[in-house]
Amino acid sequence: MAYGGKGVGRRGDGKVVFIPMVIPGETVAAYTVKEHNSYVEADMKELFEASRFRVTAPCPYFTICGGCDWQHIIYPKQIAIKQEILRSQIQVKNPKTELCFEEPVVSSREYGYRCHAVVQCTNKAGFEVGFFRKRSHAVVPIKRCFILNERCQTVLDRMSEMLRTHPISDLCSLEIHAPQDEVLVQVIVKGKPQKSDVDILRWMYQDVALSGLSYFPKNGPGSRRIFGQRFCSYEIAVSDRKVSLASSFGGFIQANMEVNQELVAYVLNCATGSHRLLDLYSGSGNFGIPLSFHADEVLAVEQDPDLVKAGAAIARKNECRNIRFFNEEAAIALRWLEQEGVTFDIVVLDPPREGARDIVRILSKMKVGRIVYISCNPSTLGRDLAVLIREGFKLKSIRFFDMFPQTFHIESISVLDR
């Protein structure tokens, strides 16, 4: 199985073929969808020999909707496949490095776990909501998404019902944040807001009992209009206390709250005994604020000014006086810290899918005792680890956290010591 969720085969002429909806070991007939110079995209035509790990997907939209990849594979096998993909993606860039994997952390919920989603909207045959079709930007209308948590689905059902009778002009999508009790919704449109749209939104905000509702023109000149709160709060347990965190409109939030709890706890354990800690790509403090209870001093670096403001406000709410949020790109901030001779005993980084190519090169020149690298892309992780290992860091451990059951996505934490 390739990273990306497709099965890998080889054609008679030696060309690699990528096929979705299959499982390693199966025998299938496939037909070419698109021929490339070095590989072929194909689809399964007939299944001759099924894997014992194959199951019937519960979702009726699974074969056409682009949201899930592996509902046809039993969950324990999904874990084994992801663990092997993570291993191979790191090993290919670090062939001489011994890899020490800890026990993977599985999700207690195989379905109904996702607390954040962007749902596409269409008015082609009356108002409908859905997700993009596989390999397309056409919308697949859905009645129910099996991976959304109950609160997300309830809010989506109610808003869809209201929008069918009271449509909003040029509506593109709905973004929902529902980590616990509070819910944020962002309505994304193409054009300029109309007065009637604002009236409908005000009615929705009150009727659905949302914590906050935002109207965001994607391409138009109109400004964002917000009803209620800009943030929704949620709690996680840190040692013997509850820590209050928050997500905001357009901001990042971990999709699986139960696995996020495990993720934060593991990072805290890796950072035990820290005096001065640097949190790169900090967001609004998902890691930095809990870490501030275990370190003498935390510097959280985030380039989004709204998330920096949110982080500072959340820190005050939790009475965290030893964390400072710094609004800057991670690479620029790190170069400045290096020039000033500022040192940290532990650096925590949680970069986007593109990884942290520039960051790890600078980190390797600084006096850093430990790096805790949270990754959502094993390919860029393998590349970045190669730089750090070459510069004298030792890869101590790797652990996989299944944040996204039924999909190919892989969240992991790697710990490196100097």
> 94 vs 66, 286, 372, 382, 411, CA distance in Å?
32, 30, 18, 7, 19
What is the pLDDT averaged over residues 57-64?
A: 96
Q: What is the CATH number of the domain that holds 11?
A: 2.40.50.140
Based on the fold, state whether residues 169 and 218 are members of the same structural domain: yes
pLDDT (0 to 100) of residue 3? 95
Based on the fold, state whether residues 96 and 31 are members of the same structural domain: no
Q: What is the CATH number of the domain that holds 223?
A: 2.40.50.1070
pLDDT category at 222 given cuts 50, 70, 90 is low
pLDDT category at 220 given cuts 50, 70, 90 is low
pLDDT (0 to 100) of residue 102? 98
- Domain span holding position 100: 88-108+256-417
Tell me 62's DSSP state: T
pLDDT category at 351 given cuts 50, 70, 90 is very high
Q: 71 lies in a domain?
A: no
Strand ranges for 178-290 from DSSP E: 184-189, 212-217, 225-228, 231-238, 241-248, 276-280
pLDDT (0 to 100) of residue 290? 96
Based on the fold, state whether residues 37 and 151 are members of the same structural domain: no
Taking the C-alpha atoms of residue 389 and residue 369, their distance in angstroms, rounded to an integer, is 13
Tell me 165's DSSP state: H
pLDDT (0 to 100) of residue 248? 86
Based on the fold, state whether residues 100 and 128 are members of the same structural domain: no
Based on the fold, state whether residues 97 and 157 are members of the same structural domain: no
Q: 62 lies in a domain?
A: no
Q: Is 124 a residue whose pLDDT tops 80?
A: no
Q: Is 126 a residue whose pLDDT tops 90?
A: no
Based on the fold, state whether residues 263 and 226 are members of the same structural domain: no
**Mean pLDDT computed over every residue of the chain:** 94
Cβ–Cβ under 8 Å, residues 119 and 174: yes
pLDDT category at 219 given cuts 50, 70, 90 is confident
Cβ–Cβ under 8 Å, residues 152 and 178: yes
Strand-pair category, 411-417 with 171-177: unpaired
Q: 263 lies in a domain?
A: yes
Q: 6 lies in a domain?
A: yes
Q: 395 lies in a domain?
A: yes
What's the structural domain count of the chain? 3
Q: 165 lies in a domain?
A: yes
Based on the fold, state whether residues 30 and 122 are members of the same structural domain: no
- Residue where a domain stops, chosen among 28, 54, 80: 54
Nearest Cα to Cα of residue 394 among 100, 83, 87, 104: 100
pLDDT (0 to 100) of residue 238? 84
Q: 344 lies in a domain?
A: yes
Based on the fold, state whether residues 335 and 278 are members of the same structural domain: yes
> What percent of the chain shows pLDDT beyond 90?
86
Based on the fold, state whether residues 28 and 104 are members of the same structural domain: no
pLDDT (0 to 100) of residue 255? 94
Q: Is 224 a residue whose pLDDT tops 90?
A: no
- Residue where a domain stops, chosen among 231, 266, 288: 231
Q: Would you please indicate which residues are annotated as catalytic (active-site) residues?
A: 376
Cβ–Cβ under 8 Å, residues 231 and 310: yes
What is the pLDDT averaged over residues 218-222?
A: 69
pLDDT (0 to 100) of residue 375? 98
pLDDT (0 to 100) of residue 221? 62
Phi-psi region of 42 (alpha: psi -120 to 50; beta: other; left: phi over 0): beta
Q: 77 lies in a domain?
A: no
> What percent of the chain shows pLDDT beyond 70?
99
Based on the fold, state whether residues 201 and 263 are members of the same structural domain: no
Cβ–Cβ under 8 Å, residues 328 and 299: no
Based on the fold, state whether residues 274 and 385 are members of the same structural domain: yes
Based on the fold, state whether residues 50 and 130 are members of the same structural domain: no
pLDDT (0 to 100) of residue 350? 97
What is the pLDDT averaged over residues 194-218?
A: 90
pLDDT digits (tens, 9 = 90+) for 290-326: 999 999 999 999 999 989 999 999 999 999 999 999 9
pLDDT (0 to 100) of residue 321? 94
pLDDT (0 to 100) of residue 409? 97
Q: Is 135 a residue whose pLDDT tops 90?
A: no
